[in-house]
Amino acid sequence: MLGTLPTTRGDAPDPTIDYYSVTFDVTEARDGWLKIKNASDDKTGNDQPRPRPVYQGAGWVEASDARIGIQSARGYARPDAGSERILDLGSDWLTERAALRGIVACDGDWLLLDYEMRNSDKFEPLAPKDRTQGRAWFRGICSSSETTCDMPSVDK
């Protein structure tokens, strides 16, 4: 083991501080693992930041441990907005309507995600008609699953 990353609540040394998840850059995904770098806890704190120590180097974490937000309603067959659209949730973001089951791969600003729809009777998948779970490429990645990122829409 090279180092550790604190979890949101499990490693909270001070219960009065609003701890957020540690953020990091994903550089590779393989066989259920993510290669990460640039881990940071800079967003933690109430009025005054109180980041926890995090491992600063590159390393691998289990993909199932990573939590992200997807601020996009559209999933594609390939990491290209011109490719076949697999899922379109209209004005809802993926993480508002689905549980993320895993990060499968990455390519630039895109992630290949396994997802399972919540309230699947309220959306219309593009194909097949009975799909409640699937795999598609998404962008609009927010490193925090607790809040939204202030970014322009990738769906326009």
pLDDT tens by residue, 77-123: 999 999 999 999 988 889 888 888 888 888 888 999 999 987 655 55
Contact 8, 65 (CB under 8 A): no
Check pLDDT > 80 for residue 129: no
Q: pTM here? A: 0.71
| Alpha-carbon distance values, 131 to 8, 18, 26, 86, 120 (Å) | 32, 37, 28, 10, 8
Check pLDDT > 90 for residue 135: yes
Residue in this structure with the two tokens 């895993």, named with its chain if needed: 102
Residues sharing a CB contact under 8 Å with residue 63, sequence separation 6 or more, in sequence order: 29, 32, 33, 34, 102, 103, 104
- For 38-47, 106-115, 131-140, 144-153, which range has the lowest pLDDT when averaged over its residues? 144-153
- Give the integer Cα–Cα distance in Å for 76 and 139: 9
Q: What is the tens place of the pLDDT at every residue in 52-62?
A: 778 888 989 88
As given in the structure block, the two tokens for residue 115 are: 């997802």
Supply the pLDDT for residue 121: 53
As given in the structure block, the two tokens for residue 11 are: 């490693």
- Give the integer Cα–Cα distance in Å for 115 and 86: 12
For strand 59-62 and strand 69-70, is the pairing parallel, antiparallel, or unpaired?
unpaired
Beta strands of the chain (E only): which ranges?
A: 23-30, 33-40, 59-62, 69-70, 74-76, 85-88, 98-107, 110-117, 133-138, 141-142
